[in-house]
A and B are shown apart, each in its own frame.
Chain A
Amino acid sequence: MSYRLEHLEELEAESIYVLREAFAQFENPCILFSGGKDSIVVAHLAVKAFYPAKIPFPLVHIDTGHNFDETIAFRDELVDEIGAQLVVGSVQDAIDKGLAQDEKGVHATRNTAQIPTLLNTIEENKFDAAMGGARRDEEKARSKERFFSHRDDFGQWDPKNQRPELWNLFNGKKKFGEHFRVFPISNWTEMDIWQYIKKENIDLPSLYFSHEREIVRRGNTILANSPYLNLKPNEKVTKEIIRFRTIGDLTITGAVESKANTLDQIIAEVAAARETERGNRADDQRSEAAMEERKKEGYF
């Protein structure tokens, strides 16, 4: 027998270690669950990390009200299957309570309204650590993120003043009112995620696979048609064969033209891709530092 791990095995071992550290170091940790492939992989790894005991974290979904129906159906099935508790933080409720504001105009999204909703959900449920599926390869501000990321009592991230993270020693000590974000799959790339989904035979929402849908082309982005999308005068709704590479809100998630409807075809497509997966996320394109600004405020 050769004592070496293939890269996916090593990444899995690292992520399980991080999940167990989060469980052991915090009193009330949760998993932020968006319904996207990355948070699905985190939930899958969490089940593995504590087998045969039950997953000890609730799944927290920040519900913008602008979800794909497929995402919600998938979420409910998964929660049932793994026997986890589901906590929903509603952006609509936060808006009604005056904690968040809805944006106006054609480019309106509920992306920034998620931030106060998330912070409020963390506070109401007294979560002291929120684990997410963010990866360092996704975006340049995320490439500086720690596994254990400290947040002050306003939930803010101070990127220039992060605790150094040495070896595998994660320092989760904090003062009352502060909390942590934990990123178990920091070192995974988009390709690693897809290869792992295939290897482990993980179920995904149908949105990731090629299907026919009503869409609107806006600039270089293909957006799903929905009641929440405000059309510009010259924009038309058409039907096309597309799939999604990431899943966020209906109003911001760009689709790609694609016939890939098996994992192998998707992996081949990702391998040949010339754009990053967030390349057509309207939320990142607002400015070069768009993600950094949102992260500082408390975004994930």
Chain B
Amino acid sequence: MIGELLRFTTAGSVDDGKSTLIGRLLYDSKSIFRDQLASIEATSKKKGLDEIDFSLLTDGLKDEREQGITIDVAYRYFNTPNRKFIIADTPGHIQYTRNMVTGASTANAALILIDARNGVVEQTKRHSYIASLLQIPHVLVCINKMDLVDYKQSDFDKIKEQYKDFAAKLDIQDFKFIPISALKGDNVVNRSENMNWYNGPTLLHSLENIPVANDLNHIDFRFAVQTVLRPHTDEYHDYRGYAGRISSGILRIGDQVTALPSQLQSRVKKIYCAEKELQEAFAPQSISFELEDDIDISRGDMIVKTNNQPRNNQEIDAMICWMGENPLHLNGKFGIQHTTRTGKCIVKEIVYKMDLDELKRIEGEKTLLKNDIARIKIKTTTPLFFDSYRKNRNTGSFILIDESNNNTVGAGMIV
């Protein structure tokens, strides 16, 4: 049996060798099948390439293959005897910030690629800022194409210092540096014989050993009700099971809980994971449970422990990544979806916009364009029950919806 699941995202600028790296990981871990390899070999040949173009593996759409660019987030899967991995492969082009944010939103780790010849460039900063903004717990900085700088330690050290200098301004809990050559395979799956000066783990070894479970919040119990199970059968006549996925924390039989917004209290009677009865349950399990008392709870309500409650407010400060084709204007009105709760909101203030190249704040903006990242203040029609995104990725995140076309236009992280 395989162990835990690790979700990671990959980011790099054009030609950093990101696709080659993914191809290498899949190939060396024997996750590419013969018919897939045959298909991309044939296409590479048709395009007049000497080597296999591994980007063809991840570029799934016809337009992407024709233009040689990645348009959308592609998900890739591989496993080792120790772990299952899900890669969210996101495009490196500037205009596709929204895809990077999407890929990063569910990731436990980010791979950031730097071309050893170029060092830290604008896009490296952009990607690292997004990893920090989205609170990806672990960042692996892969300094790639080491073969092209003769595997020199001095080049690696120089880039490492460069990166550390600007990363000091970010909020990344854990970052590591690995010198690799995706093309030649150095330090990806197998240890490099060309860089004896490097004593750290290979990329795959690092991915296999990131402590996934430690990143989950097991302290603050938060449970957004998805639906209420009411069987209406003789056997389960008065049964009311509150069904949902635990956002964070641990729930035990007998716990004193409060339902929001009603503030009604009760105790946990029984916990189920499908047909199995449990004594306790924890994030990210999908469960249902019964309470001692019959209280009115429905979808969109949140159940928490009485002695540990989230913030409860209609005025919210947040960082937003704007993804809409149309600009966001001050006083614009949108639909908002937060946990299982929906409502409407108005943008009361654009506090500042981020200049991602300089990592500076620009004040006095009245509109945001697609791919802009900004700090805003919103007011919602219904109170939300939330934590800061930094403390809780599930109860600290929301999306904005354009009600004229129902598109998802903003990704919000509560400050």
Chain A interface residues (CB < 8 Å from chain B) = 1-7, 9-14, 16-17, 20-21, 23-24, 47-54, 136-137, 140-144, 159-160, 162-169, 171, 173-175, 186-187, 189, 191-192, 195, 273-276, 279, 288-289, 292
Contacts and interface: CB of A to CB of B under 8 A. Distances in A.
B394 A168 contact: yes
Of the four ranges (under 10, 10 to 19, 20 to 34, 35 or more), the interface on chain B belongs to 35 or more
A140 B60 contact: yes
Contacts of B76: 137, 143
Contacts of A166: 101-102, 105, 397, 399, 408, 411
Contact of A51 (B63, B232, B272, B394): B272
B234 to A, nearest CB: 12
B401 A50 contact: no
Contacts of B39: 288
A142 B407 CA distance: 21
Interface in B1-44: 1-5, 33-36, 39, 43
A187 B212 CA distance: 17
Given A13-B286, A52-B239, A168-B394, A195 B60 contact: no
B98 A48 contact: no
B33 A279 contact: yes
B231 A292 contact: no
Contacts of B1: 6, 195
Contacts of A288: 39, 43, 62, 65
A7 B218 contact: no
B349 to A, nearest CB: 23
B329 interface: no
B102 A165 contact: yes
A36 to B, nearest CB: 19
Contacts of A144: 60-61, 72-75
Which 9 pairs of residues, A with B, have the shortest CB-CB distance?
A: A140-B60, A48-B274, A4-B213, A279-B35, A16-B286, A173-B406, A53-B231, A13-B286, A7-B5
Contacts of A273: 33
Most chain A C-beta atoms within 10 Å of own C-beta, residue among B84, B106, B407? B84
A54 B232 CA distance: 9
B231 A52 contact: yes
A5 B285 contact: yes
B69 to A, nearest CB: 11
Interface of B: 1-5, 33-36, 39, 43, 57-63, 65, 71-77, 79, 83-84, 86, 98-99, 101-102, 105-106, 212-213, 216, 218, 226-227, 229-233, 235-236, 239, 241, 243-245, 250, 272, 274-275, 280, 282-286, 288, 299, 323, 335, 337-338, 340, 393-394, 397-399, 401, 406-408, 411
Contacts of A47: 274
Given A160-B61, A192-B84, A3 B236 contact: no
Contact of A53 (B77, B229, B250, B299): B229
Contact of A13 (B216, B285, B407): B285
Nearest to B231: A53
A20 B285 CA distance: 13
A276 B227 contact: no
B284 A10 contact: yes
20 contacts: A3-B283, A10-B5, A13-B285, A20-B226, A21-B340, A23-B227, A49-B243, A50-B243, A52-B231, A52-B241, A140-B60, A140-B74, A159-B72, A160-B72, A169-B337, A187-B75, A189-B84, A274-B33, A288-B65, A292-B60
Given A10-B284, A49-B274, A192-B84, A24 B299 contact: yes
A194 to B, nearest CB: 12
A13 B408 contact: no
A136 B34 contact: no
Nearest to A279: B35
B274 A141 contact: no
Given A51-B272, A144-B73, A168 B245 contact: yes
B4 A4 contact: yes
B393 A167 contact: yes
Contacts of A6: 1-4
Contacts of B243: 20, 49-50
B227 A24 contact: yes
Nearest to A24: B227
Given A52-B229, A143-B74, A173-B401, 12 more contacts: A2-B213, A3-B218, A6-B2, A7-B84, A17-B226, A20-B227, A137-B75, A140-B74, A160-B63, A167-B106, A167-B399, A276-B35
A279 to B, nearest CB: 4
B33 A141 contact: no
